[in-house]
Chain A
Amino acid sequence: MIPRHLVIAMSILLVAVLGLSLYAWHIRKSAAVTPVVSDTRPLAPPIAGPTERVTLYVAHDEDGSLRAESALIPLASGRQQRAEELLRALLSLYLDKSSPHVLDSGADIRSVFLVDPGVAVIDVNSAFADTHRSGVLVEELTVTSLIHTISTNTPGLLKVKILVDGKERDTLAGHADLSSFYDVTTVNQLAAQLQPTQ
């Protein structure tokens, strides 16, 4: 004869086990059913070590202007790494949905190459170009922002080429020409034209 209190205790334990099992099954099922929304935005590197203050030139669609903004980036070991950090910091601004010049979440800077004398090659991923909004002004704001930011912070640059997924492309999104090297001097003149009117 099993004592009554033991039966009650066993019953309670059995109900608890059943309940917890059902709950665990439900949780796992929900986790499996809920699609994992992958955030493809590049992560801004944690600024744990030494940093430096740089100037980014940020495009603003509202008035079609380019405005200087101060930012902190990790202190890089070389010119090339520094140039990549600069553009990644700029891109992270554009990937924010409240950005004044929003780029699609998949956009990324693959790499930046600095080749002497005075040549920079910016390689963006295909999502950067494929999802970019089309229009003369909106495209040239992006191009000018990238080139003016890198050239202002990297002395000695003369010309800049933009590649998409490592390959040459005719235009960014139907307008801004990517087939030639950009002349840094003329881009900086355009950047001056794009300064906000006081």
Chain B
Amino acid sequence: MRLTSKRGSAGVPPAGRTPIIRPWIVITISAALACAVLVAGAPSDKHLAVYSVAANYSLPLVQREGRPYVGLLEVLEPLGKVSAKSEAKSWRLRYNNVEGDFQVGKARARVQGRDADLGGKFLVENDRGLVPVGSLPSLLPRFLGGPVTLHEDSSRLFIGSVATHFTATLSGDNPPRLVFHFSAPVNPMIATEPGALRMTFSREPVVAPASPTLTFGNKTIPSAIYSESNGAAVVTVNAAIPVIASFSNDGRTVTISATSASAAAQNATQATPAAAGSAPGTRQSIPAASTNPPAAAPTVARRYFAVVDASHGGDDHGETLSNTLFEKDVTVALARSLRQELESRGIPTLVLRDSDANLSVDQRAIFTNADRAAIYIAVHAASNGHGVRVYTAMLPFGGDDRGAFRAWSTAQHASLPQSQSTASAVAAEFQRRQVPVRILTAPLRPLNNVTGPAIAIEVAPQGSDSSQLTAPDYQQLVTSAVATAIAASRDQLGAGR
């Protein structure tokens, strides 16, 4: 027995709790330490935006030696024919007919036989040659033969004369309009928040005006501020009332104007008793005065017969229809197609979201109500089911109207019968075209907040393939059916508003 015991303690793998747990504790602690090291050493999400005549692109930056580094091969790759060869401590780069020789750990390189100062050590990681970002303005002209400008603080690199300049002028209208003229077409991401509208230019080489702060001496739109950070330029327009951006001149002109809603809301604020203005449920994302739609705003003329709302947008992707397709992208394509179909039938149409902008459901309803549109059509897309669903509002419980003011949550109440008859007309047109269709009510905002006739369509593929949602012929089949039905109902809709 002594022999067995001795063997057991020396040679037998541990069967007791302690000898087994100990290695696991060590493994767990090691894993935790490894995770901590990995997390601590995780690359930052900083990027270098590169603008050139050939292409605009973005490259990841890595932090080495206390400064940002970028892969030199990656910088030059989109601009011409480039190759690199790594041998021991030497790294050779060939761009078109220009050769460069870099030594690992050295701060100087030779390009076409001449010395070039890198301002920091040259590094090689996984055969990638890394140079300090600060060296690019002196290094790249040796390869490219042209001027290079670096905005180091904001990580923006301009190769050649590619900068897009802009001017801003405030019109003397009441309410005023702020007009931006750009030297090249732009398509910024637009976000609104109380008191400001922000245009973010991540793909365009927009550069600062003479002064980063533009003041206009106007109470409604007092100033605009230009700033840059992490590869993007941002223009923030400060405004005392809700404003909207519209594009014209092939994207070279952006007009910031007060919405009709804001003027109406201001009037409503003056007319509404304080108790109504501070009603529970008032949302902070928009001015409080705008949350209760004015029931009586007869002075606001209708500019558009139809308002088409491309649902979602910006941070709100909607349904992820496939690995590369978001609902927000399909809805904007469908909305543009529907506008074309409606306008070809002589129906003036506004697309509420014509870019990848963030728009709250409250803002969508406010714009529609202020324009007193004869019909509001929200566009959704889905991978689930087949064909098209046409929705009208399912009103929530309650909704206490206060005098002349309608409750925001049930503002649709008076127009619901007209919405339902329009939905029926649209569904009938789909049936005529042999597209599967259903009419349903839905708890879908902002249908219940729109004061006029309002419907939503949810477009699903006819089969199981979601990619059909992006097919132009299918989109046109859907939008032409809706437009035909709206055109046929024009007299009824127009008479009601």
The answer to whether A binds B is yes
Interface residues of A (CB under 8 A from B): 10, 13-14, 17-18, 21-22, 24-25, 28-29, 32, 61, 64, 133-138, 140, 143, 158-159, 171, 174-177, 179-184, 186-187, 189-190, 193-194
Chain B, interface residues (CB within 8 Å), range: 35 or more
Assess the A183–B395 pair: CB atoms within 8 A: yes
Assess the B397–A158 pair: CB atoms within 8 A: yes
Count A/B pairs, Cβ under 8 Å: 116
Interface residues of B (CB under 8 A from A): 3-4, 7-8, 11-15, 20, 24, 312, 316, 318-320, 327, 380, 382-385, 389, 391, 394-398, 409, 438-445, 448, 456, 458
Assess the A29–B15 pair: CB atoms within 8 A: no
Assess the B13–A137 pair: CB atoms within 8 A: no
Assess the A186–B440 pair: CB atoms within 8 A: no
User: Given contacts A135-B382, A137-B389, are A190 and B441 in contact (CB under 8 A)?
Assistant: yes
User: Given contacts A14-B7, A158-B397, A159-B397, are A174 and B312 in contact (CB under 8 A)?
Assistant: yes
Q: How far is the CA of A22 from the CA of B394 in the complex (A)?
A: 67
15 more A-B residue pairs beyond the given contacts A22-B13, A134-B319, A135-B380, with a C-beta to C-beta distance below 8 A: A17-B8, A17-B12, A64-B384, A133-B319, A135-B384, A140-B443, A140-B444, A175-B380, A181-B398, A182-B396, A183-B395, A183-B396, A184-B397, A190-B440, A190-B441
Q: What 10 A-B pairs have minimum CB-CB distances, sorted nearest first?
A: A180-B396, A134-B319, A159-B397, A183-B397, A181-B397, A135-B382, A177-B443, A25-B13, A21-B15, A21-B12
- What's the minimum C-beta distance from B102 to chain A, rounded to whole angstroms? 46
Q: How far is the CA of A28 from the CA of B440 in the complex (A)?
A: 57
- Chain A residues in 8 Å Cβ range of B327: 134
Name A's interface SS. Answer: helix
- Chain B residues in 8 Å Cβ range of A133: 319, 384
Assess the B380–A136 pair: CB atoms within 8 A: yes
Q: How far is the CA of A133 from the CA of B409 in the complex (A)?
A: 25
- Chain B residues in 8 Å Cβ range of A187: 394
- Chain B residues in 8 Å Cβ range of A29: 20
Q: How far is the CA of A64 from the CA of B318 in the complex (A)?
A: 19
| Candidates B12, B439, B448; contact of A18 at CB < 8 Å | B12
Query: What residue of chain A has the Cβ atom nearest to residue B7's Cβ?
Result: A14
- Chain B residues in 8 Å Cβ range of A158: 397
Q: How far is the CA of A12 from the CA of B12 in the complex (A)?
A: 15
Query: What residue of chain B has the Cβ atom nearest to residue A176's Cβ?
Result: B443
Query: What residue of chain B has the Cβ atom nearest to residue A135's Cβ?
Result: B382
- Chain B residues in 8 Å Cβ range of A182: 396-397, 443
Assess the B456–A136 pair: CB atoms within 8 A: yes
Q: How far is the CA of A176 from the CA of B245 in the complex (A)?
A: 28
Assess the B440–A24 pair: CB atoms within 8 A: no
- Chain B residues in 8 Å Cβ range of A184: 397
Q: How far is the CA of A32 from the CA of B19 in the complex (A)?
A: 14
- What's the minimum C-beta distance from A31 to chain B, rounded to whole angstroms? 10
- Chain A residues in 8 Å Cβ range of B382: 135-138
Q: How far is the CA of A22 from the CA of B318 in the complex (A)?
A: 55
Assess the A137–B8 pair: CB atoms within 8 A: no
5 sample A-B contacts, Cβ–Cβ < 8 Å, listed by A number: A24-B15, A64-B389, A143-B443, A180-B397, A182-B397
**A29, A177, A193: most-surrounded residue (chain B CB, <10 A):** A177
Q: How far is the CA of A135 from the CA of B389 in the complex (A)?
A: 11
- What's the minimum C-beta distance from A161 to chain B, rounded to whole angstroms? 9
- What's the minimum C-beta distance from A40 to chain B, rounded to whole angstroms? 23
Query: What residue of chain B has the Cβ atom nearest to residue A32's Cβ?
Result: B24
| Candidates A136, A159, A177; contact of B389 at CB < 8 Å | A136
Query: What residue of chain A has the Cβ atom nearest to residue B21's Cβ?
Result: A32
- Chain A residues in 8 Å Cβ range of B439: 193
Query: What residue of chain A has the Cβ atom nearest to residue B396's Cβ?
Result: A180
Assess the B443–A10 pair: CB atoms within 8 A: no
| Candidates B3, B384, B398, B448; contact of A137 at CB < 8 Å | B384
Assess the B7–A186 pair: CB atoms within 8 A: no
Assess the A138–B397 pair: CB atoms within 8 A: no
- What's the minimum C-beta distance from B60 to chain A, rounded to whole angstroms? 29
Assess the A135–B394 pair: CB atoms within 8 A: no
